[in-house]
């Protein structure tokens, strides 16, 4: 038994433990910064977003102009209905926009095309809507073909 009950203060920790704890926190924070920086998506710049010219535009135009002529001839010969011909022209025009610009216009509405920097395509697709979705009597296929032909010819 102790003869003199005295007060003993708590033992002090060595300053090495404080510095070891701070170093461990710095290592963990550094790890999070590294993981975040290594896994984030890189910023896209304007020059990266420009469509690469992977196709020969004059040859592409000629091919689509021929297809538009084929649809117009088939409609005039009575091989295709007027509505189906308008739908074919719309599909051809949207395919041309996709092939010429890289924008998947086949899955876009007219409003989507207007929000995208493709005003000529949006205008042409909007002009083809009455023939695709309107009530009878439908506009002539020759008018829609001329509009599609004009859009393809003046592209780019």
Per residue in 43-76, pLDDT (tens digit) is 765 545 555 455 688 888 899 999 999 989 998 8
CA distance 58 to 67: 14
Per residue in 105-123, pLDDT (tens digit) is 777 777 777 787 777 777 8
Domain assignments of the chain as residue spans, ordered by start: 15-154
- Indicate the pTM of the whole model: 0.60
CA distance 151 to 16: 75
């Amino acid at each position: 038994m102790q003869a003199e009950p005295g007060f003993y203060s708590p033992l002090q920790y060595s300053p090495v433990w404080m510095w070891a704890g701070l170093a461990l926190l710095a290592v963990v924070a550094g790890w999070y910064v590294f993981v975040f920086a290594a896994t984030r998506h890189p910023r896209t710049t304007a020059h990266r977003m420009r469509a690469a010219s992977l196709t020969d535009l004059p040859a592409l135009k000629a091919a689509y102009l021929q297809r538009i002529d084929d649809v117009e001839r088939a409609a005039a010969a009575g091989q295709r209905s007027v509505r189906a011909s308008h739908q074919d022209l719309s599909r051809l025009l949207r395919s041309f926009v996709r092939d010429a610009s890289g924008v998947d216009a086949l899955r876009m509405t007219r409003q989507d095309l207007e929000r995208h920097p493709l005003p000529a395509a949006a205008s042409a697709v909007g002009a083809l809507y009455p023939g695709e979705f309107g009530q009878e009597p439908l506009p002539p296929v020759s008018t829609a073909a001329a509009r599609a032909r004009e859009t393809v010819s003046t592209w780019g």
